Structure 1
Amino acid sequence: MGALLALASAVCYGVVDFAGGLLSRRIHFAVVTFLGQVGGLFLALPLALLVPAERVGTADLLWGALSGVGSGGAMHFLNRGLSRGAMSVVVPVSAVTGVALSVLCGVCFLGDRPTVPAWSGIVLAVPALWLVSGGTGRRAGAARNAAGGAGRASTDGLIASAGVAVQYIGLAQADPASGLWAVFAGRVAAVLVLLPGTWRHAARFRQQPRLLGEAVLIGAGAALGLSLYLWATRQQMLAVAVVLASLYPAIPTILGLAVLHERLTRAQATGLLGATAATLLLTLG
């Protein structure tokens, strides 16, 4: 069950990244990021109220807040990179590095002991994620390289990956008895962290209500993905749950094929096969 919840989280995040990446090219990325966290807050509160919680300690809320700081920072830099049209650089860097950091922390500091099949899936997932995300936009990427865009995008991706790791590790430390209140605390923290920078872009919020509403819905989807991930960590070790949840880059690739009629490259096809094999190994492990 934990593996299925983590995969469901990956689907949510994949859809959110796809939609957020497209929207960040139409309106300023700061608008998408901030309203996304507000949308996540709107969904996290009723979810936290609906899910039974035996006790909610201060430590649970603090871990959730730390997770929110990580996710707010991750989405800020991820959307900034995506707004530059560098999805083929930002997504793989943030996903793969975030997975590596989270797994290392789980094994070194949290006592995770993956089985041999699970380790095989973890090792296989990293290059698979890179191939899936890096298989598109290579010609456009070459042009951006000449202009220095890829370097800035890589920096965005690396900073986002640190936020991804903090988000996943922090949220997993909340006591299962606290329900989903850690997710709610994280959305509150993310909104507060992003608020000062948002004032600098206040004029950018003068957009069509439909576009602003899309940003809010995207954030609600991200909060749902986090909630599913939190449930997964309570039934599965962190190292496995993180890798399964981090298979989300496969979803934008599939949506690009189905919705935008993009062509599947050989690298992407190889990556999708690798991601499928990694999923099976992690599930069996």
Structure 2
Amino acid sequence: MTIIFGLLSAFSYGLADFVGAIAAKKIRALAVTAISFSFGLGIALVLSQIVGAEYSAQTIQTGIWAGICSAVAISCLYAALALGPISIASPLTAVISAMIPVIFDVAAGQALSGLATLAVVLVLVAVVLVGFVPGEKVKLPSPLALLYSLGAGLGFAGIFVFLDATAKDSGLAPLVVMRAVGLALLLLGLSYLAIKSKVRFIEKAAFSKTTLPLILLAGTGDVLGNVFFLIATREGALAIAAILTSLYPIGTILLAWVVLKERIAASQTIGIVLGLAACALLALG
């Protein structure tokens, strides 16, 4: 079950990144994130009524920390992608967000089989290959872009670790708290930008017929990715769930290929194959 929900989490995150990136070309990225977080919080609240939610002190505390990590992760991610190049910033973030939970889980006593260890290595290689698009002129990231990528990776890793630390009987309470805290911090950021730069809090274009559906779909994909990850960690090891979730760039690349007719480079194809092979190894292990 961990493999299934881990892959569902990866696809959901990949979908959210794909449609969110398209929306972010029309309005500010922070505005996209704030609206999608608001919609995602609504979905989380509805699902919590169906699945259940137990708001213990420990759950609220870990949810708050996860919310802080989510705000840091999103802010750093968009800053890193803006500085570029995306082909390096995105996989670097994914690798860091996967490796920290693996190290954390192994240090806590989680044993990985030989096949699982091999799968972890294959996934890390796959993520790098999927994010790499070869070209004649390869732009290297600036030290600031690398710093933002590191911050984003650590932020997402924090989300994974804190969500895994929540009680199994807490239902979706951690996710609701995380969403509420993350949204509050994002709104504070938007308020600061609006006051400092004297720009609109959220652009009117955000509510157009072409942009709003993309933002809402991004919010849906993001919150479902969190839900699936939460289930994956409760069904199995944090390390395995985090590694599988880090395959989200594959979903983004495949959607770009199908919807936007973008070319998939040979290195990306190899990365996708390695990712699938790693999933098979995890299933066997």
Q: TM-score, normalised by structure 1?
A: 0.91
User: Alignment RMSD, CA only?
Assistant: 1.9
Per-residue deviation, residues 138-191 of structure 1 (Å, max 9, x unmatched): 45753xx4xxx6544333221100101000000011111110110001001101
1:255 aligns to what? 255
Aligned partner letter, 2:101 = S
**1:163 maps to amino acid:** G
Q: Identity percentage over the alignment?
A: 30
Partner in structure 2 of residue 7 of structure 1: 7
Question: How many angstroms apart in 1 are the aligned matches of 2:259 and 2:27?
Answer: 20
Which residue does 1:119 correspond to in 2? Answer: 117
- Find the aligned partners of 1:248 and 1:197 in 2 and give their Cα distance: 27
Range 248-257 or range 195-204, more displaced: 195-204
How many residue pairs get matched?
277
Task: Say if 2:19 and 2:217, in contact at 8 Å, map to a contact too.
Answer: no
Partner of 1:195 in structure 2?
187
Q: CA deviation at 1:83?
A: 4.0
Asked if 1:186 corresponds to 2:184, the answer is no
Maintained 8 Å contact 1:39/1:217: no
Match of 1:92 in 2: 91
Structure 2 counterpart of 1:119, one-letter code:
T
Q: How does 1:213-232 map to 2 (within 5 A)?
A: 213-232=213-232
Deviations 1:11-35 (A, max 9, x none): 0000111111222222111111222
Aligned pair partner of 2:155 in 163, 187, 203: 163
TM-score (norm 2): 0.91
Aligned to 2:197: none
Q: Which runs of 5+ in 2 are unaligned?
A: 195-199
Taking the TM superposition and a 5 Å limit, the aligned residue runs for 1:141-156 are 141-142=138-139, 145=140, 150-156=142-148
Moved more, 25-34 or 243-252: 25-34
- Give, as a single letter, the amino acid of the residue that structure 2 aligns with 1:11: F
Residue from 206, 209, 233 that aligns with 2:203 = 206
Higher mean C-alpha displacement, 264-273 vs 180-189? 264-273
Change (3 A) 1:195 1:64: same
Q: Which residue of 2 aligns with 1:56?
A: 55
Which segments of 5 or more consecutive residues in structure 1 lack a partner in the other structure? none
Distance 2:115 2:229 in 1: 21
3-state DSSP class of the match of 1:154? helix
Letter in 2 for 1:205: I
Corresponding residue SS for 1:234? helix
Distance 1:177 1:216, change over 3 A: same
8 A Cα contact 1:33 1:79, kept in partner = no
Letter in 2 for 1:258: V
